[in-house]
Chain A
Amino acid sequence: VTIFYFPQNGGSTLLGYIGIDTIIEQMRKKTMKTGFDFNIMVVGHSGLGKSTLVNTLFKSHVSRKSAGWARDEKIPKTVEIKAVSHVIEEGGVKMKLTVVDTPGFGDQINNDNCWEPISKYINEQYEKFLKEEVNITRKKRIPDTRVHCCIYFISPTGHFLRQLDTEFMKRLSHSVNIIPVIAKADTMTLEERQEFKQRVRKELEVSGIEFYPQKEFDEDMEDKSDNDKIREAMPFAVVGSDKEYQVNGKRVLGRKTAWGIVEVENPNHCEFAQLRDFLIRSHLQDLKEVTHNIHYETYRAKRLNENGGLHPISSSDTQESNL
């Protein structure tokens, strides 16, 4: 029988397994139980396939398509904000997905300031959250209605960004994560697409528009390298569809034209799959964190520095009381 007094080498040598790594599993169980919230906003003028894209992304009818303007439906005079929530589940993970649509954006003859209702909505969500946070008795889990991601649809003109595009993105990229996409990419050939992308990226750079993932928030070399690759490939040129066709014995989502079937998830046809993987499978959590740790904190700091504390956000029209 030999007796050791441990630790033998001084310092902290471990003899055996403590079990600290199990905390990951403990956290995981807890988050699975509580579920997740995700709020996605789509902005772009009508007809760019916004609702279809969201439905394709989440493989579910979470956004109602407007089948053109019906006879008694008029184009809204101002930009409306319509938020619709659904709970979807996958692999035991429950997600409350809220899609915020912005009908009327860019559809008027005079589109001056059409971004204002959107900016107001985004700030209102920050305000709601802030009020909950400073409350005396706080909810355990503050309901999160803040916009985690704003997908901006660029019209596939093939030429340049429109003035409205740069105006919008310039003004909002500092309060929300903007992901620009080139909509209805099947109207361009692959070469046209590449050229258009280059031009768009150059313009975004020149205008100083920092879209998500923003360079300044890369946390370490690993992040930077992953995100650099994504930034090089953006804006993704996408096609959306909720119709299925049979191609080579498989059922695929696609658009059937007279000359062929555009397969939405085929990386040779368009970049939908890349967008989906980026948005949902790798950066979903990061989108929420950047919203919470950066955009929300910026808003909060601004509010706390203003004179006097809390005033309900009011404009000339409605007085919002969140009490």
Chain B
Amino acid sequence: MQKGKLTGLRATEKQYVGFATLPNQVHRKSVKKGFDFTLMVAGESGMGKSTLVNSLFLTDLYKDRKLLNAEERINQTVEIIKHTVDIEEKGVKLKLTIVDTPGFGDAVNNNECWKPITDYIDQQFEQYFRDESGLNRKNIQDNRVHCCLYFIPPFGHGLRPVDVEFMKALHEKVNIIPLIAKADCLTPNEIKKLKDRIREEIDKFGIKVYQFPECDSDEDEEFKQLDKELKECTPFAVIGSNTVVEARGQRVRGRLYPWGIVEGKFTNKFLCSVENQSHCDFVKLRNMLIRSHMHDLKDVTCDVHYENYRAQCIQEMTSKLAQDNRMESPIPILPLSTPDVDTEKLIKMKDEELKRMQEMLNKMQQQMHDKEQ
């Protein structure tokens, strides 16, 4: 029996009311319903995006993919391709959607190659906004993009112009997590230099990448230490692999290279292991993305990115309505005595807000009416 703290006056032995079970009640319903998560991957071809996704979710989403050669790619524009897979683990169901963006950055002229991507993200927001404003809200499908992994090539000296422009076009629409792709071609020193450089440039260009929430003050030291290490490690330098190597009963996911075989004996030295934290940051990325921050990524998408979109949308709608001169007279709020300048201003503001709300509702009603027809 748990003891509870009460604001009541009397404290007897068994003060257990039972609402401490509330989190379990919530959890039970969520397990029944299942969760969903939409992850976008962006970056040029050949950065290892598909392999990384397969490695993260231990599945093969790209079985029947055909890789295009350079000629075939000449007239290709950026496409948006969705793959959905249902994953279940320990009774918890996850509907995972991966949004792929083939063609990004592959053309000769990549001006605004992110536009199809921003359009896609906005479309999902718009659909959600319509559904949310509608009459039947029982089964709203949430297709909003919760997180975008952006792959930066390891060959350069930091962010390229296309990287900067892409991230700036998206940082207020989606949680961006920049990654250094194919990190196995860099030495630890090179990785460190590249990370520092990229972090500097992210600051310099004012790019708002996804921030890990602050640790609670009452978390234990070990957790705080892990959290600190995580934050200092960004951007994560990752590798992925579709191959599993087995030897002596041990199974390791990794990439086999000819260098490093020591005296013909099997050692991990010749194997670049995806899950070895000294080889790359894959484990950190996976733990953060799935095991500790998945829920927060969804929350930030709903509370920040979506709300921004919605507020913008409403303002655009009301200014359009004002232009069309379809304003209705607002409900007057009569002051009881002669108002002073401040009160008048306040009344005017509130008047306008009420007007706006009314117009928006009218618009919503109109949309619903149209939908029904």
Segment 171-225 of A: residues with Cβ below 8 Å from B: 219-220
Report the Cα distance A12→B303, complex, angstroms.
33
By the criterion CB–CB under 8 Å, are B12 and A251 in contact? yes
Chain B residues 192 to 225 lying within 8 A of chain A, measured CB to CB, are: 216
When C-beta atoms are compared, the residue in chain A nearest to B254 turns out to be: A3
Stretch at the interface among B19-27, B65-73, B232-240: B19-27
Closest to A219 in B: B32
A257 close to chain B: CB less than 8 A:
no
Q: Cβ of A95 and Cβ of B91 under 8 Å apart?
A: no
Asked if A310 and B246 make an inter-chain contact with CB atoms under 8 angstroms apart, the answer reads no
A284–B5 contact, CB under 8 A?
no
Any A CB within 8 A of the CB of B287: yes
B286 / chain A contacts, CB cutoff of 8 Å? 18-19
In contact, A311 and B87 (Cβ under 8 angstroms) = no
Q: A interface, by DSSP: helix, strand, loop or mixed?
A: mixed
Kindly identify, within residues 1 to 48 of chain B, every residue whose CB is under 8 Å from any CB belonging to chain A: 2, 4-10, 12-13, 15-23, 25-27, 29-32, 35
In the assembled complex, B353 has its CB within 8 A of some CB on chain A = yes
The contact of A136 among B290, B311, B368, by CB within 8 Å, is B311
Size bracket of the B interface? 35 or more
Do B256 and A3 have beta carbons less than 8 Å apart? yes
The residues of A that contact B243 with a CB separation of less than 8 Å are 3-6
Structural contact, B23 and A31, CB atoms closer than 8 A? yes
Closest to B334 in A: A319
Residues of chain A with a CB closer than 8 A to B20's CB: 90-93
Of all chain B residues, the one with the shortest Cβ separation from A35 is B22
A277 and B138 alpha carbons, distance in the complex (Å): 28
Asked if residues B266 and A27 are in contact (CB atoms below 8 Å), the reply is no
Q: How large is the interface on A (under 10, 10 to 19, 20 to 34, 35 or more residues)?
A: 35 or more
Question: In the complex, which residues of chain A have a beta carbon less than 8 angstroms from the beta carbon of B360?
Answer: 134, 136
Residues of the B chain whose Cβ atoms lie less than 8 Å from the Cβ of A22: 290-292, 294
Which of A88, A138, A293 touches B6 (beta carbons < 8 Å)? A88
The segment from B52-60, B178-186, B337-345 found at the interface with A is B52-60
State whether the Cβ of B307 lies closer than 8 Å to any Cβ in chain A: yes
Is A4's CB under 8 angstroms from B23's CB? Answer: no
Given A284-B25, A304-B135, A309-B357, A23 and B90 touching (CB < 8 A)?
no
Mask, A89-110, CB within 8 Å of B = 1, is 1111101000000000000000
A136 to B349, CA, bound (A): 14
Given A12-B59, A136-B311, check contact A251 B27 (CB 8 Å). no
A23 and B92 contacting across the interface, CB-CB below 8 Å: yes
Interface pair A88/B7, CB less than 8 Å apart? yes
B361 at the A/B interface (Cβ < 8 Å)? Answer: yes
Q: How far is the CA of A7 from the CA of B311 in the complex (A)?
A: 45
B335 CB to nearest chain A CB (Å): 12
Q: Which residues of B contact A36 (CB under 8 A)?
A: 19, 22
Residues B60 and A90 in contact, CB atoms below 8 Å apart: no
Q: In angstroms, how far is the closest chain A Cβ from the Cβ of B9?
A: 6
Residue in A closest to B134 when the chains form the complex, CB atoms:
A304
Q: Which residue of the partner chain B has the closest CB to A89?
A: B5
What B residues does A31 contact at CB under 8 A? 22-23, 26
Chain A 1-41 against B: per-residue CB contact (8 Å), 1 yes, 0 no? 11111110010111111111111101110111100101000
Residue of B nearest to A86 (CB): B7
**Are the CB atoms of B6 and A59 closer together than 8 Å?**
yes
User: Is A312 interfacial (CB 8 A cutoff)?
Assistant: yes
For A301, give its contact among B26, B135, B299, B361 (CB under 8 Å): B135
Q: List 6 A-B contacts (CB under 8 A).
A: A33-B216, A90-B4, A136-B356, A280-B21, A281-B19, A304-B364
Contacts from A to B (Cβ < 8 Å):
1-7, 10, 12-24, 26-28, 30-33, 36, 38, 55, 57-62, 86-93, 95, 131, 134-138, 140, 219-220, 242, 244, 251, 276-277, 280-286, 289, 293, 297, 301, 304-305, 308-312, 321, 323
Pick the 8 closest A-B CB pairs, nearest first: A91-B20, A90-B4, A60-B8, A309-B361, A285-B25, A12-B59, A26-B295, A281-B18
